[in-house]
Structure 1
Amino acid sequence: MKLLDALQDEHALIDRVLGSFRSYVDALVDGTADGEDGARFAAFFSEFAGHFHHDREERVFFHALITQAELPAERGPVHALAHEHAEMAQWLHEMTPLLERGPLSDDERARLQALATRYSRALWRHIDAENSVLYPQGAERLARCGVRELADRPMSEAEAAAREGAAALLLRYPPSEDAALTRGDGCFMCRAHGDTCKGLEAEWWTELEWEEFYDRDASD
């Protein structure tokens, strides 16, 4: 499915820019970063990751899962991941004034670092959940309903400019990793699991899928 291929490619870029963003914030706290780059990071996450990437996930992919595959909208993976979009957008909204402002006080730098850590960890784990569970399982369920392609749209000028600006940011601030963050595939790695979502099997599996699962388990 071309849209999902495009979204996964975008995940790879967002993943790298998150690492670059963490490098930038560390450098800003140390006094070695260009303060004007904060606004460029804010634009990337707002325009490209939010207005372009998350918008198409929700308006096209999530909408198709609900209307075409008749999957639940008020619970389960779609609800949980859409909720995370809104939650992360709010955290970005809190960070943006600090990223766009001039020199920060010590307290403001500490707050920015805490917000950047929370935001990046949440988005990294969100990407893992979508890549490993929602995209493949969603595509399979849409295919069962005869939906094998989804509509896409081009980037706006602002979205394209934000994406292009990321290339320079990646060069100036090589991506770093968060050694304290555990990443991986599957529902159990998703931060919504057990909170706003009971997991793919409990939320999406049909009786037939459960029967096939028990038949395979009994034959092993």
Structure 2
Amino acid sequence: MKLLDALQDEHALIDRVLGSFRSYVDALVDGMADAEDGARFAAFFSEFAGHFHHDREERVFFHALVTQAELPAERGPVHALAHEHAEMAQWLREMTPLLERGPLSDDERARLQALATRYSRALWRHIDAENSVLYPQGAERLARCGVRELADRPMSEAEAAAREGAAALLLRYPPSEDAALTRGDGCFMCRAHGDTCKGLEAEWWTELEWEEFYDRDASD
């Protein structure tokens, strides 16, 4: 599915820019970064990751899962991941004034570092959950309903500019990794698992899928 291929490519870029963002914030706290680059990072996450990437996920892919594959919108993976979009957008709004402001006080630098850590960790785990569970499983269920392609749209000027600006940021602030963050595939790695989502099988599987699972398990 071309849309999902595009979304996964965008995940790869967002993943790298998150690492660059963490490098930038660390450098800013140490007085070694250009404060004006903060606004460029804010624009990337707002315009490209939010208005372009998350918007198409919700308006096209999530919508198709609900309307075409008849999967629940009020609970389960679609609900949980859409909720994370809104949650992370709120965290970004909290960070943006600090990123766009001039010199920060010690308290403001500490707050920015804490917000950046929370935001990046959440988005990294969100990407892992979508890549490993929602995209492949969602595409499979749409295919069962005869849906093999979904509509897409081009970037707006602001979205394209934000994406283009990321290239320079990646060069200036090489991506760093968060050694304290555990990443991986599957529902158990998702922040929502056990909280707002019981997991793919519990939320999406039909009685037939459970019967097939138990039959396979019994034959092994």
- Tell me, yes or no, whether TM beats 0.5: yes
Following superposition, the deviation at residue 122 of structure 1 comes to 0.1
Following superposition, the deviation at residue 200 of structure 1 comes to 0.2
Q: Which residue of 2 aligns with 1:194?
A: 194
Alpha-carbon distance between aligned partners in 1 of 2:136 and 2:59, rounded to the nearest angstrom: 18
For 1:54, what is the secondary structure of its paired residue?
Answer: helix
Following superposition, the deviation at residue 142 of structure 1 comes to 0.2
For 1:175, what is the secondary structure of its paired residue?
Answer: coil
Following superposition, the deviation at residue 140 of structure 1 comes to 0.3
Following superposition, the deviation at residue 160 of structure 1 comes to 0.1
Alpha-carbon distance between aligned partners in 1 of 2:100 and 2:212, rounded to the nearest angstrom: 54
Render the CA deviation track for 1:32-58: whole Å, top value 9, x for unaligned: 000000000000000000000000000
Render the CA deviation track for 1:49-89: whole Å, top value 9, x for unaligned: 00000000000000000000000000000000000000000
Aligned length: 220
Alpha-carbon distance between aligned partners in 1 of 2:147 and 2:75, rounded to the nearest angstrom: 22
Alpha-carbon distance between aligned partners in 2 of 1:99 and 1:57, rounded to the nearest angstrom: 26
For 2:110, what is the secondary structure of its paired residue?
Answer: helix
Sequence identity percentage: 98
For 1:146, what is the secondary structure of its paired residue?
Answer: coil
Render the CA deviation track for 1:68-111: whole Å, top value 9, x for unaligned: 00000000000000000000000000000000000000000000
Render the CA deviation track for 1:186-210: whole Å, top value 9, x for unaligned: 0000000000000000000011111
Listed as ranges, the gaps of 5+ residues in structure 2 are none
Alpha-carbon distance between aligned partners in 1 of 2:170 and 2:139, rounded to the nearest angstrom: 31
TM-score, normalization by structure 1: 1.00
* Superposition RMSD in Å: 0.3
Render the CA deviation track for 1:12-44: whole Å, top value 9, x for unaligned: 000000000000000000000000000000000
